[in-house]
Amino acid sequence: MNGLVGSVCRSRAHPAPLDVAAMVDARRYPIQGRSSAAVRFRDEARRRFDTDGVCVLDEFLTAAAVVAVLDDITPLLGGAYASTTYSTVYLQPADHAFPLGHPRRSEQVTRVGTLAEDQLSAGSLLRRIHESAVFRQLIADIVGARTLHGYADGLTSVNVLVFGAGDELGWHFDEAEYAVTLLLRPAAVGGAFEYVPNLRSDERENYPDVQEILTGGGVPRELDHPHAGCLVFFRGRHSLHRVTAVRSGGPRIAAVLSYDSEPGVRLSEHDRDLFFGRID
């Protein structure tokens, strides 16, 4: 038994607090304590998040931790909700009141399998990472939130996305304020995460630039060959993003951990139905 698994209690009823720091390459990512290295790491991550709207910590989880998380979820993957959906970047059906080509009228395809939070046991590593005080404080410090809360609908806080051959996530803005994704298994070809940081704001939809991206213009950024264990934070509500189709070497598997700065927030029924095929 390796040190990581030894430090993890797998009981469903009373999961022990998870030592997330033991799952992370502590020299590269000093997530605990207030040493000068830890303070420097957080300051730099916050600066990148503020400037770029995204912060990428490649190989954040150690290889052993990635294996442990995959061991946890692999038996569940057959139960993932497989869907093919068409919606605008606002996750709504096309609105024909807008002219042809307008972002409110252009539908993107999404084809993916999704495990919802309630399909993971209370003792699952992903749920315990999401709940971990150390992890939550790290995210809060980087995104500049005082406190962060999970979603209250029982489905959304922790999801696993499974991309088989040809699966993709069309361009979209998230409903969630902050999304944190953890890449557990990249595809060999395709399955790239592309994004355009801070393309819209609460005050300005910026339809012309959204339309430019949807018609193949603009310059979306792409994560540069992320490895398993890569942690990505982004302002999904304001940053247009997608996952390109998996071409080979799948499945690509990613966990999405969602937070809001307000307590009690639920994903809309519309989006729950879209992603999970049910609302509770």
Residue closer to ligand AKG (CB basis): 130 or 241:
241
What are the angstrom distances between the C-alpha of 188 and each of 42, 57, 73, 192, 253?
31, 20, 20, 10, 12
Residue closer to ligand AKG (CB basis): 15 or 236:
236
Name the minimum Å distance from CB 22 to ligand AKG.
24
Residues 121 and 164: beta-carbon distance below 8 Å: no
Residue closer to ligand AKG (CB basis): 229 or 236:
236
Residue closer to ligand AKG (CB basis): 18 or 56:
56
**Amino acid in position 26:** A
Buried b (16+ CB within 10 A) or exposed e, 40-70: ebbeebeebbeebbbbbbbbbbbeebbbbbe
DSSP one-letter string for 162-196: EE-TT-BEEEE--SSSEEEEEEEE--SEE--EEEE
Name the minimum Å distance from CB 157 to ligand AKG.
13
Residue closer to ligand AKG (CB basis): 131 or 174:
174
Name the minimum Å distance from CB 110 to ligand AKG.
10
Contact residues: ligand AKG, CB under 6 A: 161, 169, 174, 179, 181, 193, 236, 241, 243, 254, 256
What's the CA gap between 86 and 107, in Å, rounded? 6
Bridge partners for 246 per DSSP: 190
Residue closer to ligand AKG (CB basis): 7 or 198:
198
Name the minimum Å distance from CB 265 to ligand AKG.
16
Q: DSSP 3-state assignment of 23?
A: helix
Q: Is 78 exposed, middle or buried (0-12, 13-18, 19+ CB in 10 A)?
A: exposed
Residue closer to ligand AKG (CB basis): 15 or 250:
250
| Shortest-Cβ-distance residue relative to ligand AKG | 254
What's the CA gap between 3 and 67, in Å, rounded? 13
Cis bond leading into 220, ω under 30°?
Answer: no
Residues 103 and 211: beta-carbon distance below 8 Å: yes
Name the minimum Å distance from CB 171 to ligand AKG.
10
Name the minimum Å distance from CB 59 to ligand AKG.
15
Name the minimum Å distance from CB 174 to ligand AKG.
5
